[in-house]
């Protein structure tokens, strides 16, 4: 497994602990990274920490953004893993312009496939596809050709 994937999985675990156990962000991250034998080096842990703490810091805004796209699904109705993968990916879309959108979505889908259900992959993919606009902070406009002025 690549270092970035490992970092995302560590971040997801911290988000999950904070969400389900109502644990403060720093404590949740410490719990997850306390394990012995983890393959994470300092750079991997730094990236995981940035993702986890960033997502947890902005969780209310991320939830509102996700909720706008998740028609008929409140955040509390979503499985905890799915909800936190969405938060993680939405945060990364918003805050890491150096990471291609396709990479963020593909990584989220692979993580969901590992930790959730096959049905969840379609659900997450659909919501993340609509969240691509976070990259620009605004919805993408369709490429519509303007009419040339007559005369």
Is 121 contained in some domain? yes
Residue 143 has pLDDT above 90, yes or no: no
Q: What is the dihedral of CA 32, 36, 37, 39, to 10 degrees?
A: 30
The angle formed by the CA atoms of residues 116, 118 and 119, to the nearest 5 degrees, is 100
Q: Are 54 and 94 in contact (CB under 8 A)?
A: no
Which residue range is the domain that position 25 belongs to? 3-135
**What CATH number corresponds to the domain at position 120?**
1.10.940.10
Q: Are 56 and 15 in contact (CB under 8 A)?
A: yes
The per-residue pLDDT for 135 is 74
Distance CA 71, CA 57 (A): 24
Is 143 contained in some domain? no
Question: What's the pLDDT band for 38 if we cut at 50, 70, 90?
Answer: low
Closest CA to 91 of 130, 114, 138, 58: 58
Question: What's the pLDDT band for 79 if we cut at 50, 70, 90?
Answer: very high
Distance CA 85, CA 75 (A): 12
């Amino acid at each position: 497994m690549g270092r970035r994937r490992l970092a995302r999985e560590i971040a997801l675990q911290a988000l999950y602990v904070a969400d389900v156990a109502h644990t403060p962000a720093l404590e949740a991250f410490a719990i997850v990274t306390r394990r012995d034998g983890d393959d994470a080096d300092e750079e991997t842990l730094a990236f995981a920490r940035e993702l986890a703490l960033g997502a947890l810091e902005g969780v209310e805004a991320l939830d509102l953004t996700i909720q706008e796209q998740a028609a008929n699904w409140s955040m509390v109705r979503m499985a905890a893993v799915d909800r936190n993968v969405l938060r993680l990916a939405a945060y990364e879309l918003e805050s890491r312009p150096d990471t291609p959108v396709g990479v963020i979505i593909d990584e989220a889908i692979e993580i969901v496939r590992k930790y959730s259900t096959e049905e969840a992959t379609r659900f997450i993919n659909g919501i993340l596809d609509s969240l691509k606009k976070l990259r620009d902070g605004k919805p993408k406009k369709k490429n519509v050709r303007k009419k040339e002025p007559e005369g």
